[in-house]
Amino acid sequence: MKLAAYEAIAPRAELGEILARSVDHLVAMPKERLFRDFEADPGGWAYGGDFVGRWLDGMAHYHRMPQFRALDSGIMGVVDRLIEFQSANGFFGRNYTQSEYCGTLQIANALLETNQTFGHPAALASATRAIAFFMQNVSPSHGAKVRPKLNNTYVPPEAGRSRIRPDTLVPMNQGYRWFFSLDVFARYYDLSGERDALAYARAVFEQVDALKPCQEYGAITGNFHVLIHIYRGLLELWRRTGDGDILQKAVEFWEWIRDTKAHISGGVQEWLIAGEEMDRPEIEDRDDLFFSGEKEGRDKIDETCTVSDWMMLSFELYGATGEGRFLDMAEEIFCNHQLFDFASNGGWCGHRSFWGDAGCVWDFCCSHHGPRCLVDALRYCVTAEGDRADVNLYVPLETQIDTQGGRAHLIVEPASDMGVAVIRCGDATEGRFKLRLRCPPWSEAIAVEGADRRSDGSLEVERLWRPGMRVQVEFRSRRGLEVRRGGPGITIGSAGNPVGALRSGPWVYALREEQLGAFGLQSEAVAVGTTREEGVLRTVLELPAEADRLIAVHSNAALAPGSAGIAFRVYLGDDLAYDSGTYKALSFSNFVELPLNGSRRVALEVRSPGGGVALELGRWRDVRIVTCDGNVTFLDGAVRAGGGSAPVRQIYFDVERSLPQPLADGRVRAAVYSCEGEQAMFVFEKLPAMGNEVEDPDYDQTGIGAVQLKPAPFRVWLPVR
């Protein structure tokens, strides 16, 4: 399967605007910010070279695209300064932490891409030194344990710059993060012909504990993004070796995610949470296990990086196998959850969720990886096989690809409601070739005048193509509720209760909370009261009997260095159910989910040990409860007000009657019912339209703090009756 080249891809309409805003956001980022972690904070969020490596890798690709060829990004200055940070032995960084080992490999990957784009001999030489250093000093058989002790920094006993010993144990999310850029070894082999690079990548596949058979993934905990990215690297290894074991393992891994982790939007969670067989610690100890992902509720929030890599793993498995199931999943992610994570200021978000969490702009990773994978995805929209060009995704795009019979220069123009898509031949079109038009799973059938139908439902048109010729594809979109029961991939409701989401065409739809007004509100309410004692601010919730679980986020404002700090606690009745420990430095947020186990009284506490810090610097936000039937009631306003009450909302979809009615602008109308049987019609929007604005558009981009977005609660799932 031949993919479109970056040089031939030009997204159009809203898709082009999203990419342009994303790249502008990255270009505007102060260059000093890219290098800060080399200077002062090697163990910080950006993981040393990881931050600048992502920026450089993205820019090297964007510069190949027609709309960015004249972009004034300052990329050459970044490359030159990066090379200045490299030690004579090839290492990037100054501190020899595991973070900088990871960064060394990612920088090497970005330098290879820079050389490919610009023909930069110094970048190629620097990357070669870095890869040789990594292969010599990091052993695949060590440092990638599933559950070692938490020790993510090792200071070598030798004086000066000496290597971390290969047998040093690190947390698993750092351990297999060492091999995050596993694909660099395949690319290095393409340039050098050195098979040692392929042998090294194969050793990672054979020896890293996190890459065990799929039935053992329940014992894995840590950052999901890293694990998925490693499998993308394994696919690169498979392409060079043809090793069937590697491809089969990647397929099994993909099937495990699809069956146990994927949401209706196609998205996946940010963290993997180990099962009970891992002897999980008591809840009050979980904040000490941040790096292993042992956090209540972290399987309910996403990050752009994880979703993007899951999308690209699906596209790449389609490229490897030609099987439509991989393309179907990739399209679902692309049309829904990938763009759901885009923010209005051009950044991309972490900590978004279907619970109505607004999320944060994460410029240290997501703002780089989201647009980078968006560009990669566009290469799969039109592909070639022999004398045939295949239109796989109907998104606004101009692209070119060569077949054995001629060149397909195609401009794809879908209607806003996806009723039709027009495909026009651009000026470079020439020759006789077949044009295959995919029938996507969201359409019952497609119709094209004069086309031949294939067994898979796709249509094929063969002719001598010339500029200006056009094909119109008509869709018969599937519309209705997708109903699931609780379990993996369900992010609303308790296990076993049916919930549904509206689908029409390729999109998942959501309802803004503010549209509901008083509809479905019940007289039985949540009572909210606040008390204040020395060093303790307590908000008490008196809950209705059907309350099933509590969802909340706690955060603290930046504290003065050396302050006594702030702690957060949750009590169910008189029992301590959650204790954050004490935060003493930068702003910190944490997502908490607690089963109520019949408790009718919940207390949310902000504590200032010793009373040395103002309690107002800590707060509970995004507070909500889930009732046993799966309804969510947002309580944040009542909690912030510090008193009063909030009525419980009970609304439902009706399987037979809540059918979406398409509107001309791509939105849909559907009926929602209350528990009394009352009906109301509401307008639902596509999931990517559930955007949020940054609270401060002029925020300081030199900081690593996540920029909170304005909360805008919405509902994707509703209980089904």
Instruction: Please state, in angstroms and as integers, the Cα–Cα distance from residue 470 to each residue in 313, 382, 387, 444, following that order.
Output: 32, 16, 19, 23
What's the pLDDT score for residue 278? 40
| φ/ψ of residue 526, rounded to 5 | -90, 120
The string of DSSP codes covering 130-172 is HHHHHHHH--TTSS--SS--S------SSSSS-PPPTT----H
43 pLDDT above the threshold of 70: no
Contact (Cβ atoms closer than 8 angstroms) between residue 320 and residue 386: no
pLDDT class of 358 with cuts at 50, 70, 90: confident
pLDDT in tens, 621-632: 889 998 888 888
Query: How many angstroms separate the CA atoms of 112 and 24, rounded?
Result: 23
Residue 293 banded pLDDT, cuts 50, 70, 90: very low
**pLDDT band (50, 70, 90) for residue 709:** confident
Are residues 264 and 348 in contact, defined by beta-carbon separation less than 8 angstroms?
no
Work out the average pLDDT over 344-353.
88
- pTM beyond 0.75: the answer is yes
Residues in CB range of 442: below 8 A, 6 or more apart = 477, 478, 503, 505, 506
List phi, psi (to 5°) of 266: 90, -20
* 87-108 confidence digits (pLDDT tens): 888 888 766 666 667 788 889 9
More confident residue, 157 or 10: 10
Measured between alpha carbons, how far is 535 from 560 in angstroms, rounded to an integer?
17
Q: What is the pLDDT of residues 211-222, one digit of tens each?
A: 766 666 655 666
Residue 468: both structure tokens together: 């200006």
Instruction: Find out whether 48 and 103 touch, Cβ atoms under 8 Å.
Output: yes
Q: Are strands 707-708 and 643-649 parallel, antiparallel or unpaired?
A: unpaired
Dihedral sign, CA of 50, 52, 56, 59? positive
Under the banding of pLDDT at 50, 70 and 90, the label for residue 651 is very high
What is the pLDDT at residue 226? Answer: 84
Higher-pLDDT residue of 610 and 289 is 610
Separation of alpha carbons 693 and 381, rounded Å: 30
* Mean pLDDT (whole number) for 197-219: 77
pLDDT tens column, 142-161: 544 333 333 333 333 333 33
User: Could you give the domains of the chain?
Assistant: 384-477 (2.60.420), 521-648 (2.60.120)
**107-117 residue pLDDT tens:** 999 999 999 99
Q: In which residue are the tokens 């060009």 written?
A: 389
